Amino acid sequence: MTTIRAKKAFPWHIVFFLGPGLLIYLTVSVYPLLDTLRLSLYNEEMNGDLTFTGLSNFSKLLFDVVWSDPFWNATWNNLKFFVVHMLVQNPIGLLLAVLLSSPKLRMRNSYRTLIFLPTMLSVVIVGFVWQLLLSPLWGITENLMWDIGLGNYFDAWLGKESSALFTLSLISVWQFVGLPMMLIYAALLGIPDELIDASVVDGSSAWQTFYHIKLPLIMPTIGMVSILTFVANFNAFELIYTVKGALAGPNFATDIMGTLFYRTFFGFQLQQGSLTMGAAVATLMFLVILVGVALYLFLFQRRVQRFAL
């Protein structure tokens, strides 16, 4: 068969649809990211010229005490920040979601809407609000604690090296607990009623139904919530900056990757900002996030299959 095939017209419409959005995405998101990775391999001279120095920025960050102490400190703090979210925020979110999904619950929508409210607020606002509430000057929290007999335990938590990071983590948990709650709640709603009925007929108690049926079925969502938490935590900045400033005091006790990145890039007070060292920090953050996402995709998502419900 030798029919003459009409040459297909060039698909201009595809260009039309993809063009503008992709142009912005590529120039403002993809290119800067790749360029940041590139810049991390250079060194900025006094006169502003860039010279290629290979991995020396990274070796400084990881091994040169001047750089590596703050870097490891921030990484370690960031990890603690994340662990608090995983151990406090997500379990509370799960608990609230389970309670919200109990059948015939009254005022379900009000609870849901109100508990989610802090998530909507700006981190900056939340930071200031809690700074005020925890301030020994104002004394709201202190008085409340005296009222319930725990007054002796009150302290200026945000100001102490030992407790500042933990307190900030809890503030962040307070703000964002609505997200895991909402996502897990949606997943719980997606479990067909008949499945729950079946397990009740099979003799499960409420707890057994939760543990053997619901929990495995919402595992994919819990996994997703975890990875979202991870990315958000290793990208956090605003809360620390608002409450403790760029120096993430006291004595860098609350310094995390985001604040370290900011200081390294822009400089702060005595520290000189550096384009290329900033790029190197960003690159390491990128790698951390990449490793986290990859671990999630390959270890977690592969094992926990999505079940066609």
Partner 1 sequence: MADVKLNNIKKSYGNVNILHGIDLDIKHGEFVVLVGASGCGKSTLLRLIAGLDEITEGELQIGSELVNDLPPAKRGVAMVFQSYALYPHMNVLKNMSYGLKIAGKDKAFIRKKVQQAAKTLHIDHLLERLPRELSGGQRQRVAIGRAIVRDPKVFLFDEPLSNLDAALRVQTRVEIGKLHQELGATIIYVTHDQTEAMTLGDKIVVMNQGRVEQCGTPLELYQHPITEFVAGFIGSPKMNFIAAKVQSIEADHLVLRLSNGAITKAFVDVTSCNLDDDVTLGIRPENLSEDSDLGERISASVSLVEQLGEASYLYLTLSDATEMVMRTSGESTTTIGETIDISFNAESAHVFNADGLALKRHRAGNTKSPAELARLKAIA
Partner 2 sequence: MNFALPMKHNRGKALVTHAVLMTYTLIALFPIFVVIINSFKTRKAIFNDPLALPTPETFSLVGFEEVLLRSEFGLFFSNSLIVSVVSIFFVLLFGAMIAWALTEYSFKGNMLIGILVAMGIMIPIRLGTVSILDLMSSLHLVNTLWALILVYIAQGLPLAVYILSEFIKQVPKELKEAARCDGVGEIKIFFTIIVPLIRPAMATVAVFTMIPIWNDLWFPLILAPSDGNQTITLGVQQFIGQYVTDWNSVLASLTLAIVPVLILYIIFSRQLIRGLTSGAVK
Residues that bind partner 1 (CB under 8 A): 192, 194-195, 197-204, 208, 212-213, 216-217, 305, 307-309
Q: How many Å apart are CA 202 and CA 198, to the nearest integer?
A: 6
Q: Does 189 interact with partner 2 (rule: CB under 8 A)?
A: yes
Number of residues lying near partner 2 (CB under 8 A): 89
What is the greatest pairwise CA distance in the chain? Answer: 93
Chain centroid to Cα 261, Å, comes to 16
| Number of residues assigned to the chain | 309
Neighbour-count burial of 178, counting CB atoms closer than 10 A to its CB (0-12 exposed, 13-18 middle, 19+ buried): buried
Cβ closer to partner 2: 105 or 299? 105
Q: Which does 59 bind (CB under 5 to 8 A by kind): partner 1, partner 2, none?
A: none
Round the CA-based radius of gyration of the chain to a whole number and report it. Answer: 25
Which position among 83, 124, 150, 299 is part of the footprint of partner 2 (CB under 8 A)?
124
Q: Does 278 interact with partner 2 (rule: CB under 8 A)?
A: yes
Place of tokens 């900025």: 44
Q: Least distance to partner 1 from the beta carbon of 216, Å?
A: 5
Q: Which residues contact 5 (CB under 8 A, 6 or more apart)?
A: none
Q: Least distance to partner 1 from the beta carbon of 202, Å?
A: 4
> Measuring CA to CA, how many Å separate 28 from each of 23, 275, 278?
8, 18, 18
Q: Which does 162 bind (CB under 5 to 8 A by kind): partner 2, partner 1, none?
A: none
Q: Least distance to partner 2 from the beta carbon of 170, Å?
A: 11
Pairing mode, strands 271-272 and 267-268: antiparallel
Which position among 22, 83, 198, 291 is part of the footprint of partner 2 (CB under 8 A)?
22
Q: Does 285 interact with partner 2 (rule: CB under 8 A)?
A: yes
C-beta of residue 85 within 8 angstroms of C-beta of residue 77: no
Residues 25-84 that bind partner 2 (CB under 8 A): 25, 27-33, 35-36, 39
Which position among 154, 166, 210, 237 is part of the footprint of partner 2 (CB under 8 A)?
237
Q: How many Å apart are CA 253 and CA 187, to the nearest integer?
A: 37
Neighbouring CB atoms inside 10 A of 203's CB total 8
Q: Least distance to partner 2 from the beta carbon of 227, Å?
A: 8
Which position among 71, 82, 185, 252 is part of the footprint of partner 2 (CB under 8 A)?
185
Q: How many Å apart are CA 17 and CA 75, to the nearest integer?
A: 42
Which position among 54, 64, 76, 122 is part of the footprint of partner 2 (CB under 8 A)?
122
Which position among 55, 83, 87, 114 is part of the footprint of partner 2 (CB under 8 A)?
114
Q: Least distance to partner 2 from the beta carbon of 1, Å?
A: 24
